[in-house]
Structure 1
């Protein structure tokens, strides 16, 4: 799973990195401790224009399906299992045509040893941001007036898959980081998504996963660059 991650790049940096044509309003500032339901930057392509426009937008990290009657859910929606995303009602429509990239400098994962949980910071070997395969949805809040722009809520989730290699020693699930050559295909709303597309994305992500590094960090509390300082400066293991 991915329950905490960080993004230290600014909105203009992300816009340049992902060839974004439109930057949305109220984009979140860099954060070293992003939690579910907080606002995150996502990259998407709008199907309302021809050709589609690549946009950087602020989204709630926990997907609200368009058919929901309220923003809360009985089960967590900040992650979506890649193996079943296309068949789950919560995510089916998003897999079909509302796919996103979720930029991340890295993410935290906890290894359980008895009653102790050790946090690790997982990141790319070259320090470049990762692009997690994500899904998004627009939800109309029935409690807000029709003419209020806040009535429309953009939300997103991060796809996860089985962890492999050394990462599996920390946790059995991992996000799906897409290689750059997959970005256009994943975002293209004209490409009708299905389980085969998700499976292919997971397969492509393995090369990125193989290049990740990780190291143990102190308990993840607060918000600042000190959260990703290694407990042992030489404890980084290459996957």
Structure 2
């Protein structure tokens, strides 16, 4: 699964990296401990609309937008359900009522510096941090939705609510030693196909991207143990990314054996 990650690059830098327009309006800051229900940055690609709301089907615009982490389906009666929908399994998203419409028409990328996962042992729960060695952003595959209450007499939610979920898949290679699931991370070569607003979730190019990442992609990542400070959402700073000393790791991973 993916229940915590780091998002530390400035929106302007993310806009350059993802070739997108920055539409975040300064609404997010660097966050070393992104937790569910927080506002997060997503990358979406849509047909621009004129003042009357008519889309221009001949052009597309890729932009960074701020949404809330925890997908709320458009038909939900209560937006609190989003806290239970921070992840969607890539293997079954097309079949689940909460996710299938978004998979067909509202796919996004969720940039991350890296994500945290916990290795659970008999007497310990050791957090690990995974990121690209070269410092580039991970592009986690996501889905987004728009929700608006059907009855809002007090006008408490005039603009509606935009939310997102992170797709997950089977863990690959060394990552499987920590947890059996991981975020569905897409290579740069897949970004255009995934974000294409004219492709449905059943299109061959999109459906193929729901498979676990390649071994080559995983080989470009580093997996390291970090301090249990990340367990508390109150802790937030670069110290959360620091590698834990080997003597402080209860059950070190056998990374050298897997590399042979």
TM-score (norm 1): 0.91
Residue pairs, 1:22-171, within 5 angstroms: 22-47=22-47, 48-50=55-57, 51-73=59-81, 76-142=84-150, 144=152, 150-171=158-179
Larger fraction in strand:
1
Q: How many residue pairs align between the two structures? A: 239
1:197 CA displacement? 5.1
Q: Flag structure 1 segments of 5+ consecutive residues without an equivalent.
A: none
Distance 1:202 1:210 in 2: 19
User: Please, what is the CA RMSD of the aligned residues?
Assistant: 2.5
Assess if the C-alpha contact under 8 Å between 1:124 and 1:213 holds in 2: yes
- Equivalent residue number for residue 213 of structure 1: 222
Distance 2:239 2:22 in 1: 32
Q: Flag structure 2 segments of 5+ consecutive residues without an equivalent.
A: 48-54
Q: 1:45 to 1:29 in 2, by over 3 A?
A: same
Assess if the C-alpha contact under 8 Å between 2:11 and 2:22 holds in 1: no
Q: In terms of Rg, which structure is larger? A: 2
TM-score (norm 2): 0.84
Distance 2:66 2:82 in 1: 24
Q: Per-residue CA shift, 1:78-116, capped at 9, x if unaligned?
A: 110000001100001111010000000000000001131
- For residue 182 of structure 2, give the secondary structure of its aligned residue in structure 1: strand
Q: Per-residue CA shift, 1:153-210, capped at 9, x if unaligned?
A: 1110111011121111100000011111110110011011128555511347323223
Select between 202-211 and 135-144 the one with higher mean Cα deviation.
202-211
